[in-house]
Amino acid sequence: MSFDSEFCIQGPCSIKTIKSFLAEKNHWPPNEAWIYHIQRGHQNLPHYEQTLRIAGATFGEIDSLQKYVKHGQATHLEQMRAEFESARQDYPNNGGTMMWMFNDCWPTSNWSIIDYYGSPKPSYYAAKRACAPILPIILERKGKTLLSVSNHTSKDISCNVIYGICTLSGEITLRLCRDFTVAAYGCHRFDSLSSEELKAEPNEYIFIDAIVDARTLPRVTYFQNMWKNVPFEKASISLKVYQSVKAKDKYLTKLELSSMVYARLAHVLYVGEGSVWFDDNYFDIPATDLRYINVSSECPLDETSLICGDWFTDWE
């Protein structure tokens, strides 16, 4: 059994954080001030150049600070997720992995998932989801689409999965089912299909809906040709305060999010007073699905202090 002792992926911090350590004249295009704060990387290339190349190829050309942050954070998020999922799917050949890195020691914009000011990047939430105790996983390797469930708990679990292909509007065009058990601390591959056999159209994705010991997990989605040319629509995300209670000096609030079309990288921003902490954010919402976020805040929350965003909104 091996251990992946380090993997690293670059990703920008938020525009708000970048503007806190770069003077306005240095906001765009990148210059020597960026190199001073964001450093150089492999082959002496400035880190921002590597982000421009990788994120530009993944999500589209970057020609503004807004696109640098949005495309760079989305790439950071997706690659972070994929690294963890690949390690988990390879168990027991791979027994664990360690990422570089958790937080920054000065104002910068590179590998961390928590910036210098303690603000989580979107990749923080992706890493948290990818390290959930029980996780359905979809990966492609050598022309095969591999479908698995990873169980990092101390007990065997019973799984019922529905999987196949679904359109962005929510129509299932291929539906398959399996029932199986996943051993404690194990990973069970329940199907392996030719990627040509499971080929999805540009407006379709591969999915797994899993019920584990009578508990429904969030749908896992996978785009075979990644995201650059997927015809996503602008989503109108519905948000409501599902429940709220006061616990000592904090307010604990549960938010419910939904969308009639596939919402790409949906997220919630807080525009009120005091600090907040979201337990999840920057996730996809398949059409007609529901997603929930638990929030800890210093002040009571309502819909007027929260803003929903997605792939088509500016990321601040």
Residues lower than pLDDT 50 in the chain: none
* Res 74: pLDDT: 98
Rounded to whole angstroms, how far apart are CA atoms 280 and 129? 8
| CB neighbour class for 157 (10 Å; exposed up to 12, middle 13-18, buried from 19) | buried
Model pTM score = 0.96
Rounded to whole angstroms, how far apart are CA atoms 84 and 92? 14
Where are the domain boundaries for CATH 3.20.20.80 in the chain? 2-130
Over residues 125-139, the pLDDT tens digits come to 999 999 999 999 999
Judge: domain 134-222, CATH 2.60.40.10: yes
Where are the domain boundaries for CATH 2.60.40.10 in the chain? 134-222, 238-309
Q: Which residues, in sequence order, are CB contacts of 278 under 8 Å at separation 6+?
A: 120, 125, 268, 293, 294, 295
**3-state SS assignment for residue 80:** helix
* Res 144: pLDDT: 95
Six token digits for residue 11: 């990703």
Phi, psi torsion values for 303, nearest 5 degrees = -60, -25
Q: Which residues, in sequence order, are CB contacts of 65 under 8 Å at separation 6+?
A: 15, 18, 27, 28
* Res 243: pLDDT: 85
* Res 77: pLDDT: 97
**3-state SS assignment for residue 134:** strand
* Res 15: pLDDT: 96
Q: What is the 3-state secondary structure (H, E, C) of 260-278?
A: CCCEEEEEEEECCCCCEEE
Judge: domain 2-130, CATH 3.20.20.80: yes
Rounded to whole angstroms, how far apart are CA atoms 290 and 65? 32
Over residues 141-174, the pLDDT tens digits come to 999 999 999 999 999 999 999 999 999 999 999 9
Which CATH fold would you assign to the domain 238-309? Immunoglobulin-like (2.60.40)
